[in-house]
């Protein structure tokens, strides 16, 4: 503004020099024009000063308003708070069971007489989840996830809505943390939440060779490309209250981010160290990895498990042992459309079958008329059955069927936060272990599903 005024003064000072060769009338006309120009410049300066004043006032008002909002958020506990969630109403058709139904917020456990049971066609899909995350000053993080009827604890503590309740506290630095609470199982390349899975159902290793959740405390170390967690506590239980069944179990996971596009993981679950306890010792170990490049994505997993024969498998043969693999490949046909294929295999012949996540039945007879375990007819595990002419009998109670599954599907991003999934799944066993709605036994089964996932 001072520059404008100085320019006006300089112009006025130059007038006598210019006017030396001019008449009085010409000089008067030029002075009048100069005065009009000066008045116009002064008006412009005044408007600019007024605008700056109003802008300064508005900025001050916004600053006060922002400070007040920050204070209100901090006072109300909203600072560092994040709320997210999803729902995924699902339709499932199962050939052997002769069922065709929408699946949403139903139970996936027979605990407390719910009338339903866990199966690969009845796991965590058809659910609703609400996540509340809070970060405190200093870096402490809290997380509470609610998942009615379908949460990790619902099958073991009927009516429990809590899927996860955990706290992570930094020790000395943000890269070393103490964590505690109820924490979902972290093994494998698949996750519980439908928003983190490409297909509707889960692979065989996720459903039948992994824990559901851990309750306890542990440490997390982030060092360069490595992220390591180790924890002691209960497996699948809020409290251990069985005779001779003691805490702690040991649970761990190590992730290595090889690059931006690939990584490896190793996890283990070791629980029930007393083989003479009601449930026996359980050891689960798996290695998983991923590679993403352009439109292609590949994920894979190898798992090994062993467990002393339990109430789920009453044929006593010492330790049960099984191993398996799962691989998933996807390709983005279009930016919004992805094609997915997954292949699983689980070797489970030892001791009449009966992996960790399967439940064998009772009341069957073998070829000699002796009592034997019935297969898990819903999931296809256990010893094979044969028709004797009068009834179905167990062929060899000491030899279980091996399992495989092929799933083909698509995922389409309808709009931000909304995706539609479709899946066809074919399951097969090396013996007749799949039970039909007419009480027959088959080697295979077909399942079709459609799901809409809406998240925020």
pLDDT (tens digit, 9 = 90+) per residue, 379-431? 999 999 999 989 999 999 989 999 999 999 999 999 999 999 999 999 999 99
Bridge-based pairing state of the strands 434-435 and 371-374? unpaired
- Average pLDDT on 367-388 reads 94
Q: What is the pLDDT of residues 191-220, one digit of tens each?
A: 999 999 999 999 999 999 999 999 999 999
Helix (H, G, I), strand (E, B) or coil at 69: helix
Lowest pLDDT segment from 67-71, 137-141, 392-396: 67-71
Beta bridge partner(s), residue 168: 141, 179
Pairing of the two strands 226-235 and 249-256: antiparallel
* CA gyration radius, the chain: 35
- The two tokens of residue 223 are 């060092």
* Residue 25: pLDDT over 70: yes
- The CA distance from 39 to 255, in Å, is 74
How high is the pLDDT of residue 39?
80
Q: Is 277 helix (H, G, I), strand (E, B) or coil?
A: coil
pLDDT for 77 equals: 73
CATH number of the domain located at residue range(s) 91-102+179-455 in this protein: 2.40.160.10
- Give the rounded distance of the alpha carbon of 249 from its chain centre: 24
- At 289, list the tokens: 């990895």
CB 87 within 8 Å of CB 150: no
Q: Which residue has the higher pLDDT, 6 or 390?
A: 390
- Say what the pLDDT of residue 273 is: 58
Distances 280 to 8, 184, 366, 424 between C-alpha atoms, Å: 98, 22, 26, 37
How far apart are the C-alpha atoms of 426 and 448, rounded to whole Å? Answer: 9
pLDDT for the residue 154? 84
Q: Give the pLDDT score at 248.
A: 80
Higher per-residue confidence, 359 vs 184: 184
Q: Which two tokens stand for residue 234?
A: 């209960």
More confident residue, 14 or 124: 124
CB 93 within 8 A of CB 86: no
Instruction: Give the separation between CA 111 and CA 54, rounded to whole angstroms.
Output: 68
Percentage of the chain exceeding pLDDT 70: 87
- The token pair at 207 is 């459903």
Q: Residues 39-54: pLDDT tens digits? A: 888 778 877 777 777 7
What three-state secondary structure class fits 125?
A: coil
Query: Residue 240 pLDDT more than 90?
Result: no
> Which residues is 102 bridged to in the sheet?
91
Q: Do 380 and 307 touch, CB atoms closer than 8 A?
A: no
Q: Which residue has 């006309």 as its token pair?
A: 29
State the pairing for strand pair 385-387/441-442: unpaired
**Domain spans of the chain?**
2-72, 91-102+179-455
pTM of the model: 0.82
DSSP 138-197: TS-EEEEEE-TTTSTTTTTSTT--EEEEEEEEEESEEEEEEEEEEEE---SS--SSGGG-
Show the CA angle centred on residue 165, arms to residues 211 and 194, nearest 5°: 60
Burial of 78 (0-12, 13-18, 19+ CB in 10 A): middle
CA distance 123 to 202: 8
State the pLDDT at residue 386: 96
**Residue among 381, 402, 447 at smallest CA distance from 199:** 447
CA dist 156 and 145 (Å) reads 17
Lowest mean pLDDT among 164-168, 174-178, 365-369: 365-369
């Amino acid at each position: 503004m001072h520059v404008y005024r100085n320019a006006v003064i300089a112009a006025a000072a130059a007038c006598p020099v210019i006017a030396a060769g001019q008449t009085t009338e010409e000089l008067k006309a030029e002075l009048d024009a100069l005065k009009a120009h000066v008045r116009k410049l002064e008006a412009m300066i005044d408007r600019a000063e007024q605008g700056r004043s109003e802008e300064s006032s508005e900025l001050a008002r916004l600053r006060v308003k922002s400070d007040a909002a920050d204070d209100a958020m901090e006072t109300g506990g909203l600072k560092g708070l994040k709320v997210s969630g999803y729902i995924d109403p699902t339709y499932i058709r199962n050939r052997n069971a002769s069922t065709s139904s929408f699946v949403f917020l139903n139970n996936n456990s027979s605990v407390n007489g719910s009338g339903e049971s866990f199966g690969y066609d009845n796991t965590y899909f058809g659910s609703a989840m609400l996540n509340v995350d809070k970060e405190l000053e200093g870096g402490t993080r809290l997380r509470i996830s609610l998942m009615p009827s379908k949460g990790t604890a619902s099958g073991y503590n009927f009516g429990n809505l809590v899927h996860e309740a955990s706290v992570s506290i930094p020790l000395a630095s943000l890269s070393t943390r103490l964590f505690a609470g109820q924490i979902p199982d972290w093994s494998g390349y698949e996750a519980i939440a439908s928003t983190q899975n490409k297909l509707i159902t889960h692979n065989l290793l996720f459903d039948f060779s992994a824990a559901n959740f851990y309750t306890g405390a542990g440490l997390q170390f982030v060092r360069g490309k490595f992220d390591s967690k180790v924890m002691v506590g209960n497996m699948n239980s809020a409290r251990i209250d069985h005779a001779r069944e003691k805490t702690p179990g040991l649970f761990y996971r190590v992730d290595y981010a090889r690059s931006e596009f690939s990584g490896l993981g190793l996890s283990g679950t070791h629980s029930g160290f007393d083989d003479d306890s009601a449930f026996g010792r359980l050891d689960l170990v798996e290695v998983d990895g991923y590679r993403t490049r352009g439109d292609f994505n590949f994920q894979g997993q190898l798992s090994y498990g062993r467990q002393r024969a339990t109430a789920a498998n009453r044929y006593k043969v010492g330790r049960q042992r099984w191993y398996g693999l799962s691989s998933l490949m996807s390709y983005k046909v279009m930016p919004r459309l992805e094609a997915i294929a997954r292949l699983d295999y689980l070797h489970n012949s030892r001791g009449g079958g009966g992996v960790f996540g399967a439940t064998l039945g009772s009341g069957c007879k073998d070829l000699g008329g002796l009592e034997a375990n019935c297969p898990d007819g819903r999931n296809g595990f256990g010893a094979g059955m044969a028709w004797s002419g009068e009834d179905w009998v167990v062929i060899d109670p000491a030899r279980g069927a091996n399992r495989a599954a092929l799933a083909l599907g698509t995922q389409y991003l309808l709009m931000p936060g909304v995706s539609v999934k479709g899946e066809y799944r074919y399951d097969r066993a090396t013996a007749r272990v799949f039970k039909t709605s007419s009480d027959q036994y088959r080697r295979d089964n077909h399942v079709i599903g459609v799901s809409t996932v809406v998240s925020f």
